[in-house]
Amino acid sequence: MSAPLTVAVAQPVCLHLDVSANATAHAAAVAEARARLVVFPELSLTGYDLTAPAVSPDDSRLGPIVSACRATGATALVGAPARDADGREHIATLAVTGEGARVVYRKMWLHGEEFDRFSPGEKPEVLGVGGVRLGLAICYDAAVPDHAADTAALGIDAYVASTLYGAGPESAARRDGHMSERAAAHGVWVVLSTSAGASGTYPQTSGGSGIWAPDGAVVVQAGPEPGAMVSASLGGS
C-alpha cells in the first residue's frame, strides 16, 4: 500500500425492498462520509430478503449514489441480488463510482435457503481503489478461513466484508472474532460493514461495523444503532 486510503463503513436504516429509498440513504452516507471508499452491508439496497428482485447495475434508482460518488470522488460498495447474462443470480457487491455501477464480486460461500435461488461465485476478487488492493467478501465468506486465505493469496492490502450478523452478544462476539482473526492471520486491514436494525426478513441485526488493523486490533467500531457510520485511514507506507 503506497498511500493511505480513507474508508468509511456505514450501517444505514434499511427499508424493506425499497431500493429507491435505500439508494437515497446510501447517497446521503457517501456525501457525509467524505471518504475515498464507503462500504455498505450485505444486500443493503433491498434488505436481506431472498425473494428480492435482482438489481441491474444500470438501474436508474442507483442514480443518487452515482451522483454522490461523482461529487465526492468516492467508490461505494453496495449490496444487492444480481443476475448475470447467463441467467444465474448471485448475492453480489456492486462498486459505484461517478461513472456508474458494476458487479465486482459474487458471494462464494452461500448457506441455508440461499442455495434455493442463488449460484455461488466462482472465485475470489480484488478491487483496486486509490492504489489499494481490496479483497472482497460477503457475509458467510468472512466466516470461512479458506476464503480469506485464498483472497489474501492474490495480494491484498485489506479484506473488505459486507455482512449481516444476527442480534445478541453471542453473534457480536462471533462477528468481532472473525474480523480480528482474518486481520491477524494475513497481516491485512479488515473493513466490515454489517447491518444494523431491521434488514429484510431479519427484525433485528447486530450493527457493529468497524475497521481492524493488520495486528487484529480494532481501530474504530460503530455501535448497534442503525444509521451509524465510522471511518479510519488505512495507513500507507
* Tens of pLDDT, residues 86-105: 999 999 999 999 999 999 99
Q: Is the pLDDT of residue 80 over 60?
A: yes
> With contact defined as beta carbons under 8 Å apart, do 218 and 22 qualify?
no
User: Would you call 170 exposed, middle or buried from its count of C-beta atoms within 10 A (0-12, 13-18, 19+)?
Assistant: exposed
DSSP E strand stretches across 98-227? 100-106, 126-129, 132-138, 158-163, 189-194, 196-199, 202-206, 210-212, 218-221
The pLDDT assigned to 224 comes to 98
The pLDDT assigned to 236 comes to 60
**CATH number, position 169:** 3.60.110.10
Angle, vertex CA 1, rays to CA 40 and CA 176, nearest 5: 45
> Helix H segments across 8-127?
19-33, 63-72, 114-117
> With contact defined as beta carbons under 8 Å apart, do 98 and 64 qualify?
no
Contacts of 107 (CB under 8 A, 6+ apart): 42, 90, 91, 92, 114, 118, 120, 121, 138, 139, 140, 141
Q: Is the pLDDT of residue 162 over 70?
A: yes
- In this prediction the pTM is 0.98
Q: Is 61 helix (H, G, I), strand (E, B) or coil?
A: helix
Percent of all residues in the chain with a pLDDT value above 70, rounded to a whole number: 98
Residue 210 pairs in a beta bridge with 192, 221
How many angstroms separate the CA atoms of 114 and 91, rounded? 9
Range of the domain at 91: 5-234
The pLDDT assigned to 159 comes to 99
Task: Please tell me the total count of domains within the chain.
Answer: 1
